[in-house]
Amino acid sequence: MEVTLAYALILVPIACAAIVGFSPSNLAKWIGTFGAFATLAVAMLFAWTFPHWTDGLFAPTNDATSWFSAMGVSISLGADSVALLLILMTTFLMPLILIGSFTAINERVKEYYFWFLLLEASMLGAFLARDAVLFFVSYEFTMIPMFFLIANWGGLQRRQAAVKYVLYSFGGGILTLVGLLYVAMKMHAATGEWNFGIGPMTEFCSTTLPASEQVWVFLLLMAGFAVKIPLVPLHTWLPLVHDQAPTGGSVILAGTLLKLGTFGEFRIALPMAPIGGVEWNFVLAVLCLIGIVAAALICWVQHDAKKLVAYSSVTHIAFCMLGMFSLNSIGVTGSVMYMISHGLSTGALFLCIGMVYERYHTKDMDELGGLYRRMPIWSFFMVFFALASLGLPGLNGFPGEFYCLVGAFIAEDTAATGYPGLMGPWFAIIAGLGLIAAAMYLLMLVGRLVWGPLREPGAHDKDHAHTSHHAPTSALPVDIGAREIGILLPLAIACLVLGLYPEPMFKAIEPSVKNMLKPYPALVERYVRDGTLLNDETETSNSPFADATQK
Amino acid sequence: MLNFSLLADATDHAAATAIGVIQPAVDAPDLKWAGLIIGLPALSALLCTICGAMRVRSKLPAFITIVALIGSFVLTCMLFQQLGQGAPRVVGLFEWMSFSWGNADRFQSFSAPFALYVDSLTLFWMLFVTGLGSLIAIYASEYMESDVGKGYTRFFGGVSVFLAAMATLVMASNLVVLYLGWEGVGLASYLLIGYYYSKPSAVAAAKKAFIMNRIGDLGLALGISLIWVNYGTVDYATLFSVLEAGPTAGHGDWMPGAIPFLLMLGAFGKSAQIPLFTWLPDAMEGPTPVSALIHAATMVTAGVYLIARMYPLFALHEDALATVAWVGGLTAFVAATIGMAQYDMKRVWAYSTISQLGYMFLGLGVGTTFGAGYHVFTHAFFKALLFLTAGAVMHGFAGQIDIRKLSGLRKVPGFRLVSYLALLGCLWLSALPFSAAFFSKDTILTAALGSERSDFQFLGWLGLLTAGITAYYTFRVWFRTFAGPVHFEAGDEQHDAHDDTHDPHHAPVAGLSLGAKHDFHPHGPRWAIRIPLILIAIGAVAAGWPAYNVLFFHGENWVQSMIAHSSAVAGSGEVHGQDVLGLSAHLMTSIVGSTACVIGIGIAFWMHLADRSAADRVRSALRGFILTRWIPTTLENRWYVDEIYHMMFRLPLWAGSHILHFFDKTVVDGFLVDGTGRVPVAVARLFQPLYNGVLQGYAATMAGGFVLIAGWVFWIWLRGNG
Amino acid sequence: MTELLATYDASSVNAALLTSSVLFGIGLVGFLSRRNMIVMFLCTELMFQGAALAMIAFGRVHGNPDGQTFVIFILTIAAAEAALALGLVVLLYRRRETLDSEAWSELKEC
């Protein structure tokens, strides 16, 4: 059952994309939206029938269900609870984005919905893959729809943004591919057969590959993911791309595409090369801290609302990665939770800003202000999502953020985690400064866009500024209408529910996290004892592949 | 047992039998209805949101809110009736943030269910929070009426959010839920300070309040983490039992001593103490009922609540309580001095709030939770009364609040009651002998003066000096505004200042003086303002009852026994202290305090009623002498604290952010990333001349390349063959 | 087949290789020196055949029929390609009314 649904998750959007391709233009948006809803329905059915919510196992539990395999590459799909949560988030965002694009996209409508559905299929493919090559292909394929989405429907510098996005991600991705191929090659040398299954590769790499090689494998794998995440200092493509992408593109970029990086980290890099994960932990944690604080301060001096939210993505995702690199269950669980809540609240912020952009054709905070007077309903949602984004308890941002913070805080404490860790209170304190900075820049954003005296572009040219009804230049209503409320309301409800009752999420995430963290306690303990893992190769001898390597 | 040696200095343990013993909590699933105390305001907030979405243009949101708040109050009373001062009850509502890993060990699980911890401290706080909340909501239903259909819904939505969050804060059974309420009240405060959203100053004040509170909140969050790391729990009941089991219950050497300081930071932020006090005066940009409810009576006492609730933890570091005492004492003094030199009535009351909160922290610090709790209680009433009378004046005089432009309101028709209620509030704030505040302040100062620590004694004398200053600035306001000859100018604030058709930047109506515009008639308050005022005044007077009960009937002090049955038990004893200058500390405080009060009022009478030019003469005399020149300017400029913070924090941050942004744009993106991207381009440029667009050129390049490669291969072959 | 391969002698292979290089050289020189697109196209065909001849010769050297097989394929495809290329030349001529290859230099950057 779950296999069929997993394949359906990828095939439904592809099929709908094909139908969109052959349909008349005026039907494209309806078919596209239908496709997104159909995928959502499949995802919900998948989630409903999913048997492994609480044990962290992959469904289906055996690898033998592939349709096709050659050279060890197989098209085999499955999901664990973390992947499934990300799938649910993606499929939940997608219809909202497409409905949100009804009025924003007036040119080449067919292509737009075609690419979006293809993008959805490839993202779901990456989440569902249990084969490294399939994962990599899906992961990299997301670039193609995204390239066209940016280059065709973006802002003034869209070409440059699209090219930068593709080259940057591709450059990182190639290194990831090299890492994967290296592991596969080593495994071929050891076992005599090719196998690209993520499970076998992880087992081989984490238990058999010598420490000195794992360190480099980790770095290679990390390269691509770090660009996608994006980890400071590899983040500079993100503000440009967010700034230039159409609203829908920004939402999906913040909502799901960045999560491909964090998910890759969670699914592939950290489990596959745990020694590398421990060895590089300090460097990465420091990069996260720099990201949290520096990007937050950069947010604070932005003039462009969308760039501000883009930089806020950088700081939030650095927070998320800090939780993941804390290498204890509470931090990693918080990190996964943060992935989902960040997707919802930041995606919603991009939607809100997109709605203003559609009306005023600017997102410059120097030209816009006091929009509460024009758009009270929009303002309500804008303030709501800004608060969600700054981690107000009771809304979705808080549980993940708090667990990440606690995870980093206790990562040194043997009694709390069961093993010593590599961070400590100072990491949490510096990360906590990011919380203050988050309040600074998000309230600045809200204070300028929503509150204050009304400022509209071009208002100063005209005389009766306070009487004439002039500013919204498009055919849209002054405030957001039923369609747009219909987009934001589900997101707001999701934010509230996740904030007030995150318990089921934690229960679902935790077992997967435990599986992921299995090799870490022993390694971290050794690292703390010896200061390095590179001196000692003996521990690999008990692995099932040990004989093969010695041969 | 914990080491309460510090507290023992100031308090007499012999009297009470159960001092230092926090009663173990009892699970009470049958009290689940108590969740409605939070639920009703939350529901009201939801209904207000729906009203807003449906564009309700009536007073419906006010009615919803009032009904919900009165419901909460009644439920609190019922809870009080049922529990009294019995053992704490823990009421589990639903799972919120719980997580466990590893084995069943306490340290390997994190449990923060949404549950209530109801003990007498909770009930004590909830009684005046919900009671005053209901009254102020009734008051606001009239005060805000010019905004019906515009901001009315938003206002009452904010008030409902506030009450729900405040109830969560006070009734939480663990620190994480407390944190939820803590940030929730910050949010409500943000929304309500920024209520007049088209005024940039209001927006800035709201932002400032939220960010300064966030700084404190970070301390609180880290403190919670540290508590959990050291004691393996964030749950009050478990925490207290762990603490009683012994101070070594924690593990590791993770600085348990830092816990009280981190919690303190949170408390100082929320309660506007040094160094985080500058947001509160600015918060007066909000509507006056908000100032009364949130920024005087309830929310700002959350810091006191936090320390009282976590009082056993403050024995973890010997300097923790002393720090609280010093911060409180200094804040009380500094804020009072600033209060002397302000002309905005609400700002004077704001500084007096900071100052009185300083007394409460002084009380906590010198070891009398009873004094602090009692002062919270009396202060809630008289300060709400002062703000609400100020609001009535603002309401009647079109937003005029400058004490230089109002005079003799006592004789203006419709303002007689307001004036005398304000007088009552002023007398109580000045701690008139035998008023409620006299007893509460007296308890705190006695504990300080009678302490064995000389620095606490100094703080006690400073507190007495502050009491005199308080009396002076309080009556400066009253004599200026309500007494003397009738004279007033209407304010420039139309009540519809944030109306769609009116932009304060374009058309501020110039101050209307009575002579210039005859069509301005101040309108006196109607019943919805008068009744809450009267009830709160009665409350302010009645707040003295617990003390009278002790003094005249040798009964027990109700507040004291409420505190004594809670986690703040350690400081709830009767305060005696040692003798000061041959008199008992108690007597000394009463005498000096009363004298200071009378002198302060007397000076205010001379300078601001009998001879109003005297104030200016004093000011110019101070300005004239080189050694005292700084005094008036410094006080009028609020000790330049805002400016100092601006120079010390905001400017460097701002500059640093710009530098970072520049660095990010040019070095990281421009040089590293785009530079790398330009390398292939640069290499390609070298060979560009070969690709000139002519077909033969390409062919020649190809042939040339072939010849080169062939030649190279041939050369290798030649070398290979010797 | 085997008899054919068995009668291998070095001089005939050398001659074939020489012929092929001459063919290729003529084609190359012609391609580089002429501007008429049809003549240039003929020159590429010459180079092509030179390469094909070399392939047959090497097939012979290695006693492997693959070279000849490839050449048969190449001949077939070259025929198709010739039709296509001449069609292109006609199209290009219609655009610019000239067969001069220098009329087409849009690939040049800047």
Q: Is residue B189 part of a domain?
A: yes
Q: Which residue is listed with tokens 């012999």?
A: B14
Cross-chain residue pair A425–B672, CB shorter than 8 Å: no
Question: Using CB atoms and an 8 Å cut-off, which of residues 499-518 of chain B contact chain A?
Answer: 500-506
Do residues B570 and B665 both lie within one domain?
no
Mean pLDDT over residues A398-411, rounded?
88
Q: Which of A67, A210, A288 is nearest to A543 (CA)?
A: A210
> Among A61-70, A154-163, B281-290, whose mean pLDDT is lowest?
A61-70
* Chain B residues whose beta carbon lies within 8 Å of the beta carbon of residue C32: 696, 699-700, 703
Report the gap between the CA of B711 and the closest CA in chain A (Å): 34
Residue B172: the pLDDT is 92
| Ramachandran angles phi, psi of B26, nearest 5° | -115, 135
Find the domain containing A508 and state its range.
280-458+477-533
Nearest alpha-carbon partner for B311 in B369, B253, B265, B266: B369
Domain count, chain B: 3
**Which chain C residue has the Cα nearest residue B700?**
C32
Residue in this structure with the two tokens 């003549």, named with its chain if needed:
C39
**CA dist B590 → B333, B461, B467 (Å):** 19, 12, 11
The answer to whether residue B635 sits within a structural domain is no
Whether A443 and B200 lie within 8 Å, measured CB to CB? no
C110 pLDDT more than 60: no
Q: Determine whether the interchain pair B99/A403 forms a contact, defined as Cβ–Cβ distance below 8 Å.
A: yes
The count of domains in chain A is 1
Q: Verify whether the Cβ–Cβ distance B229 to A502 is below 8 Å.
A: no
The whole domain housing B385 covers: 5-498+520-593
Is A418 touching B (CB cutoff 8 A)? yes
Average pLDDT on A468-485 reads: 69
Give the closest of B53, B503, B653 to A466, CB-based.
Answer: B503
Half-sphere exposure of B82 (CA within 13 A, CB side): 15
Closest residue of chain B to C101, computed from CA coordinates: B695
Is residue A331, in this structure, part of any structural domain at all? yes
Respond yes or no on whether the N-terminal peptide bond of residue A210 is cis (omega within 30° of 0): no
Query: Chains near A, with 3+ CB pairs < 8 A?
Result: B
**Cβ–Cβ of B699/C107 closer than 8 Å?**
no
Report the alpha-carbon distance of residue A509 to residue A399 in Å, rounded: 13
**CB distance A82 to A119 below 8 Å:** no
Query: Which residues have a Cβ under 8 Å from the Cβ of A222 and sit 6 or more positions away?
Result: A265, A269, A276, A280, A284
Cα Rg, chain C, nearest whole Å = 18
Q: What is the pLDDT of residues A495-518, one digit of tens each?
A: 999 998 998 888 889 888 888 888
What DSSP letter does each residue of B329-366 carry, written as one string?
Answer: HHHHHHHHHHHHT--BHHHHHHHHHHHHHHHHHHHHHH
- Scanning every residue of chain C, which has its alpha carbon at the shortest distance from the alpha carbon of B692? C108
pLDDT of residue A115: 93
Predicted local confidence at residue C97, as pLDDT: 87
Same domain, B51 and B159: yes
The whole-number pLDDT of residue B397 equals: 83
Closest residue in B to C35 (Cα) is: B696
The reply to whether B612 falls in a domain is no
Q: Which of residues 244-263 of B touch A (CB under 8 A)?
A: 251-252, 254
* Interface mutation target, options B685, B691, B694, B706, chain C, most CBs of C under 10 Å: B694
Regarding whether B136 and B88 lie in a shared domain, the answer is yes
- Residue A548: per-residue pLDDT: 47
Q: Return the pLDDT at A61.
A: 67
- Helix-, strand-, coil-residue percentages of chain B, each rounded to 5: 70, 5, 25
Residue B319 amino acid letter:
D
Q: Do B321 and B376 share a domain, yes or no?
A: yes
Q: Report the percentage of chain A scoring pLDDT > 90.
A: 45
On whether both B14 and B55 belong to a single domain, the answer is yes
Q: Which one of A402, A413, A465 has the shortest CB-CB distance to B254? A: A413
| CATH of segment(s) C2-100 | 1.10.287.3510
User: Chain A partners of B217 at a C-beta cutoff of 8 Å?
Assistant: 435
Of B270, B184, B146, the residue nearest B220 (C-alpha): B270
Of A390, A395, A353, the C-alpha closest to A494 is A395
Contact assessment for residue A248 and residue A97, using Cβ atoms and an 8 Å cutoff: yes
Q: Is-contact A316 A342, C-beta < 8 A?
A: yes
Contact assignment for A514 to B668 by CB distance below 8 Å: no
Q: How many helices (H) and strands (E) does chain A have?
A: 25, 2
Q: What's the pLDDT band for A466 if we cut at 50, 70, 90?
A: very low
Q: B111 to chain A, minimum CA–CA distance in Å?
A: 11
Q: Which residues of A touch B231 (CB under 8 A)?
A: none
Chain-centre distance for alpha carbon A84: 13
Tell me the C-alpha distance between B550 and B545, whole Å. Answer: 9
Same domain? For B538 and B569 the reply is: yes
CA–CA distance, A177 with A173 (Å, rounded to integer):
6
Residues 651-710 of B with CB under 8 A from C: 688, 691-696, 699-700, 703
Is the domain of B685 the same as that of B578?
A: no
Q: Is residue A429 part of a domain?
A: yes
The answer, yes or no, to whether residue A153 has pLDDT greater than 70, is: yes
**By CB neighbour count within 10 A (0-12 exposed, 13-18 middle, 19+ buried), where does C14 fall?**
exposed
- What is the distance in angstroms between the Cα of B499 and the nearest Cα belonging to chain C? 59
The answer to whether residue B369 is domain-embedded is: yes
- When CB atoms are compared, the residue of A394, A415, A416 closest to B184 is A394
Residue B451: how many other CB atoms lie within 10 Å: 28
User: Is the Cβ pair B696, C101 closer than 8 Å?
Assistant: yes
pLDDT for A551: 38
Testing the interface with A: which of B166, B175, B231, B660 to mutate, by most A Cβ within 10 A? B660
Q: Do A435 and B217 touch (CB under 8 A)?
A: yes
The pLDDT tens digits for C56-82 are 998 888 888 888 899 999 999 999 999
The DSSP annotation for A263-280 comes to HHIIIIIHHH-HHHHHHT
Please give the residue that has the higher pLDDT: either B1 or C36.
C36
From residue A38, alpha-carbon distances to A11, A31, A34, A41, A42 in Å are 11, 10, 6, 5, 6
Out of C32, C35, C110, closest to residue B700 by CB? C32
B-chain residues near C40 (CB < 8 A): 695
B207 and B301 fall within a common domain: yes
| Strand ranges in B404-527 using DSSP code E only, listed in sequence order | 406-407, 487-490, 512-513
Q: How far is A436 from chain B (nearest CA, A)?
A: 6
Give the count of alpha carbons within 13 A of B206, CB side only: 29
Taking CB atoms and an 8 Å limit, are C32 and B695 in contact across chains? Answer: no
The per-residue pLDDT for A469 is: 47
d(CA B593, CA A358): 65
Asked whether the beta carbons of residue A432 and residue B221 sit closer than 8 angstroms, the reply is yes
CB contact under 8 A, C108 and B691: yes
Q: Is B148 on the interface with A (CB under 8 A)?
A: no
User: What residues of chain B score a pLDDT lower than 70?
Assistant: 1-20, 102-106, 246-254, 493-520, 722
Cα distances (angstroms) measured from residue A250 to each of A348, A379, B98, B678, C28: 10, 20, 33, 27, 53
Residue B222 lies in a domain: yes
**One domain, residues B686 and B708:** no
Kindly determine whether residue A373 and residue B656, on different chains, have CB atoms separated by under 8 Å: no
Contact A446, A361 (CB under 8 A): no
| Closest approach of B98 to chain A, Cα-based (Å) | 7
Closest-CA residue to A134 (of A267, A275, A332): A267
* Co-location of B437 and B566 in the same domain: yes
Buried/exposed B335-367: b ≥16 CB within 10 Å, e otherwise: bbbbbbbbebbbbbbbbbbbbbbbbbbbbbbbb
B613 is a domain residue? no
Interface test with B, best of C31, C40, C47 (most B CBs within 10 A): C31
Q: How many helices (H) and strands (E) does chain B have?
A: 28, 8
Smallest CA–CA separation between C104 and chain B, in Å? 7
Lowest-pLDDT range of A103-112, A242-251, B9-18, B222-231: B9-18
* Nearest residue of C to residue B699, measured between CA atoms: C32
**Chain B residues whose beta carbon lies within 8 Å of the beta carbon of residue A384:** none
Q: What is the interface size between A and B, counted as CB pairs within 8 Å?
A: 176
Q: Is B180 in Cβ contact with A301 (below 8 Å)? A: no
Question: Which of C28, C35, C106 is opposite residue B693, by nearest beta carbon?
Answer: C106
**A residues 488-507 lying closer than 8 A (beta carbon) to B:** 500-503, 506
At residue B379, the pLDDT reads 92
Residues of B with Cβ-Cβ distance to A370 under 8 angstroms: 197-198
Per-residue pLDDT band at A417 (split at 50, 70, 90) = low
Please report which residue ranges of A101-142 form alpha helices under DSSP H.
109-128, 132-141
